[in-house]
Amino acid sequence: MRLCQFGAHGPIYAPDEPAPGIVILHGSEGPMAGWSHRFAAILAAHGFAALPLSYGTGDFWGAGPIQDVPIQPMIDAGHEFAAHDWCSGQVGLFGWSMGGQLAMLLASLLPATKPYACIAAHAPSDVVMGAFDPAAFRAGQSWRRLEPDAPRAWVMQGEDTRLAPGTDIAVERYQGPMFLSVGLADDVWSPDMTARLAARRENAGRPVELWQAEGQGHGFDFDTEPELWRRLTHFFSTHLR
């Protein structure tokens, strides 16, 4: 495995030869928690070039707020990654939790399959959440803000309506393949949200693969996680060339 810094986007984890690319979107644990880098190393070991893309704020001591995060850089990074020497051309997208919601938003905003030829999300929400305030979360206060006038997590020019808290995420607009996974014992975001996203895809005749894991929470235990990676890598291997 090799590693290089990709400008301001972050590091790329990759095998020795050019490979299909995957952009990774972390959750509300923040960019410095290390989970997205662990996932990137796993994907690189399975033959993909992986870019753990940072958004929001935070440091080694804790996550910062996710508020007014521009979405356009997530799109630009996909295009630029596809042109990188270590990427063999096509790029997929994978996000979990808050990053899964962001992946679903990108699906709703990018009906065509450029820059992302396929999209996967673990434990996403089916509606736009308001800004995430880690201080409120740690204090036990409500952070699932769905009022239209609540502080916004995401911003993009010309997309104010689609990014308003409480708005259904129109994943059926995306034309490419989609993989969704969730634990049926998830107590952070209801697994019903993931099921509704899959239903929207199915009702629109869009390709979707849904895996609901019995007895698993927001994060899977180490006995079940390998099966998630088996399914994820098979999905990306099938749809990225």
Kindly list the domain boundaries of the chain, sorted by start residue.
2-239
Return the pLDDT at 30. 86
Please determine, looking at this structure, whether the domain spanning 2-239 carries the CATH number 3.40.50.1820.
yes
Q: How far apart are CA 120 and CA 209, in angstroms?
A: 9
- 93's tokens: 């997208």
pLDDT tens column, 170-214 = 999 999 999 999 999 999 899 999 999 999 999 999 999 999 999
Structural contact between residues 182 and 123, judged by C-beta atoms closer than 8 angstroms? yes
- 45's tokens: 């070991």
pTM (2 decimals)?
A: 0.95
Closest-CA residue to 52 (of 64, 65, 38): 38
pLDDT-wise least confident of 56-60, 100-104, 201-205, 226-230: 56-60
Strands 69-70 and 11-14: unpaired
Return the pLDDT at 194. 98
Count helices and strands in the chain by DSSP H and E runs: 6, 12
Return the pLDDT at 112. 86
Helical H segments across 88-224, by residue range: 98-109, 134-138, 191-203
